[in-house]
Amino acid sequence: MKIVTIKTPDQVIIPLQQHDGAVCDSLVSVGDIVSVGQLIGDGEFRIHSSVSGEVIAVSELPHPTGKDVLSVVIKTHDGEKREIEPVELSAGKIRRIIKEAGIIEPNGHPTLRTKGDIDTIVVNGTNTWDLSSYEALMLDHPSEIVYGLKALMETVGAKKAFIIIELGSEALNTMRTETIPDSNIKVIATPGYYPPGTENTLSKKFAKKRVPRGSTPEDRGVLVSSIAAMKAIYDALRDGEPMIKKVVTVAGAVGSPRDVLVDIGAPISHVIKECGGCSGTPVKIIVNGAIPGTAQYSDEVPVIKTTTGILVQTESNIEREPTAPCINCAWCVDECPVGLMPHLLYGYADSAQFEKCAELYIGDCVECGMCAYVCPSKLPIVQIIRYGKYGVAEMEASE
């Protein structure tokens, strides 16, 4: 087994925003007793309790994105898991179960976000150098992943599906063997590249469907999903379990780097402790990868549905260089996988010109981090673009 299940923490913090959208309404109050899988937040998406226990707080608390978000804090205790009676599944029932399970992709979008015609599903099974959770899932749960994919294909009416895995991955042969009986599911090996999982790139490269600016792959009949979502669909359909656990890669300066199965809401400090603790004095903890990830100001922020990795760094792992003014070298433009002009977005966002940001399609930015990585001036381009996205959203909401 590649994935290690860590123990449930004494307390979980479950944010009511773990998706790209508005904060959910809390369905519980302080003093309520909740059980594993119980719905505790509802709105655009659904959020469930990952543990049984008592609600001890409902308040705004630190979130992995760097802001404070309304969260439910639960003191855990032993409780009974709900028993799920098997049901005969139809496409309509599968769609309803997937939505009610609150399954979210790593980019914050729901797995099912369209009722339009879908011809092809592309499942991203690639990893970056410091994240290996997808590979671990495929090695440990290949049949469950294929089951989830078949269910999704039936739901949206897709006639074919591709599972994308990088060359050299241990999971390549495992998944090819698992899909031998299914002629409409093809496993494709691809050279390692970065960023590996942008939806438009996957649609163009593997489904041969180019996505115009301002459109989505679904507009071209392509649904792009992830290995984690396929496993979550299986859990929802076969075990009646909503999305309340996540496989996370813990890497860097820790005693035992590995892939772990974590309860949603577990504090990062708990996860690190269960992986042998920090090796040395940590000076930076990054969530979701070294290049695209976000540095955390507290190790008490929780694991959420979009968490894929936790990277711990000591002083010796970090190169610190002072920033300098933009020199208009356009290296960031050359590297942008979606054809944006990051240097202009940086300037407009930094000066709060959000109308200009919207005109330059700031919402299309996938926050891969390549612009900041190649920038000779060491500007915090991604952070400022995130601020710009927030500004655009606020501007549009007020109109």
pLDDT of residue 288: 92
Beta strands in the chain, from DSSP E residues, in sequence order: 3-5, 11-15, 25-26, 33-34, 39-42, 46-48, 53-62, 68-76, 120-124, 160-166, 185-190, 222-226, 245-252, 258-263, 282-287, 294-295, 309-314
Q: Both tokens of residue 138?
A: 């495929």
Residue 89, pLDDT above cutoff 80: no
Q: Distance between CA atoms of 265 and 262, rounded to whole angstroms? A: 8
Q: Do residue 128 and residue 220 come from a single domain?
A: yes
**Comparing C-alpha atoms, which of 40, 29, 33, 47 is closest to residue 78?**
33
Is 320 within a domain?
A: no
Q: What mean pLDDT do residues 229-239 have?
A: 94
pLDDT band at residue 141 using 50, 70 and 90 as cut-offs? very high
pLDDT of residue 69: 95
pLDDT band at residue 79 using 50, 70 and 90 as cut-offs? low
Q: Do residue 207 and residue 173 come from a single domain?
A: yes
Last residue of a domain, one of 238, 264, 290: 238
Percentage, residues of the chain above pLDDT 70: 96
Is 324 within a domain?
A: no
| pLDDT tens digits, one per residue of 362-376 | 998 989 999 999 999
Q: Do residue 234 and residue 252 come from a single domain?
A: no
Is 374 within a domain?
A: yes
pLDDT of residue 87: 56
Q: Which CATH number goes with the domain that contains 153?
A: 3.40.50.11540
pLDDT of residue 278: 94
Q: Do residue 15 and residue 38 come from a single domain?
A: yes
| pLDDT tens digits, one per residue of 39-54 | 999 998 899 999 999 9
Last residue of a domain, one of 204, 238, 272: 238
pLDDT of residue 1: 59
Q: What mean pLDDT do residues 242-265 have?
A: 96
Residue 138, pLDDT above cutoff 90: yes
Residue 255, pLDDT above cutoff 70: yes
Is 321 within a domain?
A: no
Cα angle 45, 49, 53 (rounded to 5 degrees) comes to 155
Phi and psi torsions of 46, nearest 5°: -120, 135
C-beta neighbour count of 116 within 10 angstroms? 13
Q: Distance between CA atoms of 387 and 153, rounded to whole angstroms? A: 37
Q: Do residue 116 and residue 133 come from a single domain?
A: yes
pLDDT of residue 129: 76
Cis peptide bond prior to 322, omega within 30° of 0: no
Residue 133, pLDDT above cutoff 70: yes
Contacts of 326 (CB under 8 A, 6+ apart): 343, 346, 347, 377, 379
Q: Do residue 189 and residue 138 come from a single domain?
A: yes
Average pLDDT, the chain: 91
Q: What is the DSSP string of 251-295?
A: EESBSS-EEEEEETT-BHHHHHHHTT-BSS-EEEEEES-TTT-EE
Q: Distance between CA atoms of 260 and 50, rounded to whole angstroms? A: 15
Residue 291, pLDDT above cutoff 90: no
Is 84 within a domain?
A: no
pLDDT of residue 30: 97
Residue 275, pLDDT above cutoff 70: yes
pTM score: 0.91
| pLDDT tens digits, one per residue of 186-230 | 999 998 777 766 788 888 889 899 888 878 899 899 999 999 999
Q: Do residue 276 and residue 296 come from a single domain?
A: yes
Q: Do residue 169 and residue 137 come from a single domain?
A: yes
Lowest mean pLDDT among 63-77, 84-98, 271-285: 84-98
Q: Do residue 159 and residue 221 come from a single domain?
A: yes
- Name which residue leads in pLDDT, 112 or 10: 10
| pLDDT tens digits, one per residue of 294-340 | 899 999 999 999 999 999 999 888 888 899 999 999 999 999 988 89
Q: Do residue 153 and residue 226 come from a single domain?
A: yes
Is 129 within a domain?
A: yes
pLDDT band at residue 128 using 50, 70 and 90 as cut-offs? confident
Task: Give the number of C-alpha atoms closer than 13 A to the C-alpha of residue 13, restricted to the C-beta side.
Answer: 19
User: What 3-state DSSP class applies to 28?
Assistant: coil
Residue 152, pLDDT above cutoff 60: yes
Residue 276, pLDDT above cutoff 60: yes
pLDDT band at residue 16 using 50, 70 and 90 as cut-offs? very high
pLDDT band at residue 82 using 50, 70 and 90 as cut-offs? low
Is 44 within a domain?
A: yes
Q: What mean pLDDT do residues 285-296 have?
A: 90
Structural domain including 212 reads: 91-238
pLDDT of residue 178: 95
pLDDT band at residue 139 using 50, 70 and 90 as cut-offs? very high
pLDDT of residue 321: 87
Residue 337, classified by CB atoms within 10 Å of its CB into exposed (0-12), middle (13-18) or buried (19+), is middle
Is 45 within a domain?
A: yes
Distance between alpha carbon 147 and the CA centroid of its chain, in Å?
21
Q: Distance between CA atoms of 89 and 97, rounded to whole angstroms? A: 10
Domain count, the chain: 3
Q: What mean pLDDT do residues 6-24 have?
A: 93
Residue 66, pLDDT above cutoff 90: no
pLDDT of residue 165: 94
**Comparing C-alpha atoms, which of 389, 334, 394, 335 is closest to residue 362?**
389
Q: Both tokens of residue 201?
A: 């790139």
Which residue, chain included where needed, has tokens 């930015």? Answer: 365
**Comparing C-alpha atoms, which of 123, 100, 135, 265 is closest to residue 203?**
123
Q: Do residue 301 and residue 338 come from a single domain?
A: no
Q: Distance between CA atoms of 47 and 27, rounded to whole angstroms? A: 10
Q: Do residue 348 and residue 284 come from a single domain?
A: no
Last residue of a domain, one of 238, 270, 304: 238
